[in-house]
């Protein structure tokens, strides 16, 4: 949290004027320049295609987006970009000759894969810093600020109230502050013609802007692996295309082709269904949970079917949950040798155990957790040995080890949900009251996020309670 506050106070890399990250609370954010070039005209001038009905418009509260001014039939081409228009991190696309490519490559080398957006962010900063960049018409249309958690005030980071996300936010802030030192050290004694950023200073705030711009707008497209071993998955910023909003039921999709002779990627957007006049264009950014939507895109999806909560597999916690739910003699913290073998197969014990488990989402209970609960609550080994792990992981397989075991497992999960809900300092009604009264955009996002997490827990509890009621009735009837 302190890292984020420090980043907020820093000066930023500039093209024409300083970037103020403190303005991240503005809704919608302004562009880098007050009157940027017409992006549609630029794409067409560079040989791209934009359907005559596609327009750029203000879509409150989301900022600029794409809308259509007339009905468009399904299957119509909406946007097509020639191969030289997307912005990618590759020395082959840089034009060469100015001596900065090796410096960028060295800076990018230690960046972990999970923060891939920073690698392309370095190229974005390069093109933003130099005067006369080919991509300036595109870059000048980018938001001046990004309302993602790394730029939240410290209090609003704390208001997220969800440990897994707090960990990720602080991890990114620490990375940016450490990377700032590495970048400054690498650039300290460079001659001007080898300085990637035209001699301008680069700090954690400008790096955070670049990483946020890429994570919220770039697409990872596929291509054939090149002879030098370059992988087939390459991040690209797609001008104009990246102004499409997100939807799990999008009206458009990205289609890519590839020139077999030179591996050029050709990208276009096609209407997936008929689009009505005044509709905004939407793409599916991915089946992601709200942690990733907030971290990378700066928004939260209400009633997200892919949202979930993350817990840590802990025998003592499971013992407490089982006892709280009325399960007699739980032995989660002291499994027998044969149960340990199964837990090892599930990845909960042994070398490098994976103790993260999820509740909610499409699966409701992560299969590994469900299998562990069923096995550790089973009456005997013989019953367990009649089923494979895939069966034990499946919630759709009703009571494979018997109704009493299944009831104990589900009631334990319900108790886990109660414990998880109690870890939030505020109640759901408190959060809703805050939203009604009004709050800053970052505070509102934090409250919306934790409301959705609590809703996942509550919905999971309700679903499991229904299952428990049905099973209890079957047990009572002796069926």
Q: What is the 3-state secondary structure (H, E, C) of the chain?
A: CHHHHHHHCCCCCCCCCCCCHHHHHCCCCCECCCCCCCHHHHHHHCCCEECCCEEEEECCCCCEEEEECCCECCCCEEEEECCCCCEECCHHHCCCCCCCHHHHHHHHCCCCHHHHHHHHHHHHHHHHHCCCCCCHHHHCCCECCCCCHHHCCHHHHHCCCCHHHHHHHHHHHHHHHHHHHHHHHHHCCCCHHHCCCCCCCCCHHHHHHHHHHHHHHEEEEECCCCCCCCCCEEEEECCCHHHCEECCCCCEEEEEEECCCCCCEEEEEEECCCECCCCECEECCCCCCHHHHHHHHCCCCCCCCCCEEEEECCHHHHHHHHHHCCCCCCCCCCCCHHHHHHHHHCCCCCCCCCCEEEEECCCEECHHHHHHHHHHCCCCHHHHHCCCHHHHHCCCCCCCCCHHHHHHHHHHHHHHHHHHHHCCCCCHHHHHHHHHHCCCHHHHHHHHHHHHHHHHHHHHHHHHHHHHHHHHHHHHHCC
pLDDT of residue 59: 84
The residue assigned the tokens 């409250």 is: 447
pLDDT of residue 190: 83
pLDDT of residue 199: 84
For the chain, domain boundaries: 39-288, 309-478
d(CA 313, CA 50): 51
**CA-closest candidate to residue 5, choices 181, 149, 154, 211:** 154
pLDDT of residue 326: 87
pLDDT of residue 101: 79
- Residue 237: phi, psi to the nearest 5? -95, 125
pLDDT of residue 477: 82
Rounded to 5°, the CA angle 361-303-73 comes to 105
CATH superfamily of 309-478: Rubisco LSMT, substrate-binding domain (3.90.1420.10)
**pTM attached to this predicted model:** 0.88
Cβ-contact 455, 418 below 8 angstroms: no
Residue 68 in tokens: 């259509």
> Which residues on neighbouring strands pair with residue 269, listed in sequence order?
79, 254
pLDDT of residue 221: 80
Domains 39-288 and 309-478 belong to one CATH topology: no
Taken in order 453, 456, 458, 464, is the CA torsion positive or negative?
Answer: negative
Which CATH code is given to the segment(s) 39-288? 3.90.1410.10
In the sheet where 233-237 sits, what is the strand order? 87-88, 233-237, 218-222
Q: What is the mean pLDDT of each run of 10 residues along the chain (479 residues)?
A: 42 39 55 92 96 92 88 96 90 49 88 93 94 94 93 95 96 96 91 83 94 94 58 84 96 80 73 96 96 96 96 93 82 90 95 95 95 93 95 95 95 96 95 93 95 97 96 83
């Amino acid at each position: 949290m302190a890292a984020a506050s420090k980043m907020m106070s820093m000066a930023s890399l500039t093209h024409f004027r300083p970037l103020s990250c403190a303005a991240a609370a503005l809704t919608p954010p302004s562009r880098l320049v007050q009157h940027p070039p017409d992006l549609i005209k630029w794409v067409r001038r560079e040989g791209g295609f934009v359907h005559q009905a596609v327009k750029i418009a203000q879509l409150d509260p989301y900022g600029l987006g794409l809308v259509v001014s007339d009905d468009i039939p399904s299957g119509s081409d909406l946007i097509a970009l020639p191969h030289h228009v997307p912005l990618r991190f590759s020395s082959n696309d840089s034009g060469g000759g100015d001596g900065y490519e090796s410096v960028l490559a060295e800076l990018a080398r230690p960046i972990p894969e999970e923060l891939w957006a920073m690698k392309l962010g370095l190229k974005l900063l390069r093109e933003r810093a130099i005067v006369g960049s080919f991509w300036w018409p595109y870059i000048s249309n980018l938001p001046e600020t990004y309302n993602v958690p790394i730029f939240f005030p410290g209090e609003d980071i704390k208001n997220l109230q969800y440990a897994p996300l707090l960990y990720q936010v602080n991890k990114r802030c620490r990375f940016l502050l450490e990377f700032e030192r590495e970048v400054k050290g690498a650039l300290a004694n460079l001659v001007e013609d080898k300085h990637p950023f035209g001699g301008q200073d680069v700090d954690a705030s400008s790096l955070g802007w670049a990483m946020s711009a890429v994570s919220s707008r770039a697409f990872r497209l596929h291509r054939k692996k090149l002879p030098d071993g370059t992988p087939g998955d390459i991040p690209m910023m797609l001008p104009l295309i990246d102004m499409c909003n997100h939807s799990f039921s999008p009206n458009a999709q990205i289609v890519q082709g590839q020139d077999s002779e030179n591996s050029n990627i050709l990208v276009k957007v096609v209407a997936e269904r008929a689009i009505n006049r005044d509709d905004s264009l939407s793409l599916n950014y991915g089946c992601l949970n709200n942690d990733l939507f907030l971290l990378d895109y700066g928004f939260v999806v209400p009633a997200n079917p892919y949202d979930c909560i993350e817990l840590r597999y802990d025998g003592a916690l499971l013992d407490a949950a089982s006892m709280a739910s009325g399960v007699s003699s739980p032995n989660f913290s002291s499994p027998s040798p044969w149960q340990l073998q199964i837990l090892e197969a599930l990845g909960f014990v042994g070398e490098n155990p994976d103790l993260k488990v999820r509740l909610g989402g499409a699966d409701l209970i992560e299969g590994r957790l469900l299998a562990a609960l069923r096995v550790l609550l089973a009456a005997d080994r013989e019953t367990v040995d009649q089923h494979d792990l895939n069966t034990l992981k499946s919630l759709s397989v009703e009571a494979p080890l018997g109704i009493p075991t299944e009831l104990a497992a589900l009631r334990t999960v319900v108790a886990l949900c109660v414990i998880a809900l109690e870890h939030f300092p505020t109640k759901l009604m408190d959060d809703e009251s805050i939203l009604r009264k009004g709050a800053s955009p970052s505070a509102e996002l934090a409250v919306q996020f934790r409301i959705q997490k609590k809703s996942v827990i509550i919905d999971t509890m309700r679903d499991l309670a229904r299952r428990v009621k049905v099973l209890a009735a079957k047990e009572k009837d002796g069926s």
